[in-house]
Amino acid sequence: MLLADMNFTLVPVLPPADTCMICDKPIGEIGGRRMIAQRERGTTVLDYAVNGQFRNFQSCERLLANRELYFVAWGEESIITRAVVQRARADYLTGFRPWFCQVCGRRLCYLCGAILPRPVASDYIFDDGGDVHCPILGADPGCWNPECEKFRSWNKPYPGWSRTAPI
C-alpha cells in the first residue's frame, strides 16, 4: 500500500524495504540487523520540518503534498549520496521503511571484520516494522566469528556459568 493511501495521524509503522538503501543487497545476503538510524547516518519521517539539526545533515523534503510529513536524511556525503536519499524516499512513498546494513553502517568487529552480534549505538528494525535502540552499555559485544579472539559463546553469559548450577 502506498503511503499516500494510508489513513494515519502519526508516522505509521512500516515494514522494512527489501534491500539496503546504500549497497542495495538483501539482509539474507549480508546478515546482521537492518539499521535505520545512528548518530552518523540515517533517515526518518517527521511531522515537522528541520534544517540542520542532525549531524551531517543532508536533506529535509516534504514527503506528501497533502500532509505535514517530511523525509529527513543525514550522513556522510560519500555514503548517503543523493541517489541513496532518493531511493530511501521512494521506499517511504511505496510504504516501506528504508534501512542500511551493518556493513554500510560500520558496525563490524575491528579485528576480523565480522558483523557484530549487537549493532551498538544504532536503531534497528524488525521484520514487522517495529524498531529498537541498541545502547552502548560499556560492555564489549564480542564477535560472532569463532576464529576471532573477541569471539564469545552467547550460550554462557560469563565464565563458569551453567543452567544447572545452583544460584
Q: Up-side HSE of residue 138: CA atoms within 13 Å toward CB?
A: 0
Stated pTM of the model:
0.84
User: What SS3 class is residue 167?
Assistant: coil
Helix (H) or strand (E) holding 92: helix 82-93
The whole-angstrom separation of Cα 155 and Cα 135 is: 21
pLDDT digits (tens, 9 = 90+) for 43-70: 998 888 887 677 787 788 998 888 888 8
| Residue 4 pLDDT greater than 50, yes or no | yes
Mean pLDDT along residues 7-14 = 71
How many of the other CB atoms lie within 10 Å of CB of 30? 17
pLDDT digits (tens, 9 = 90+) for 121-162: 999 999 999 999 998 877 777 888 888 888 877 634 445 544
Instruction: Give the DSSP per-residue string, 2-14.
Output: -GGG---SSPPP-
The confidence score (pLDDT) of residue 159 equals 52
Domain boundaries, the chain: 12-105
| Residue 165 pLDDT greater than 70, yes or no | no
Query: In this structure, which amino acid lies at residue 6?
Result: M
State the pairing for strand pair 42-46/70-74: antiparallel
Q: Residue holding cell 539499521?
A: 35
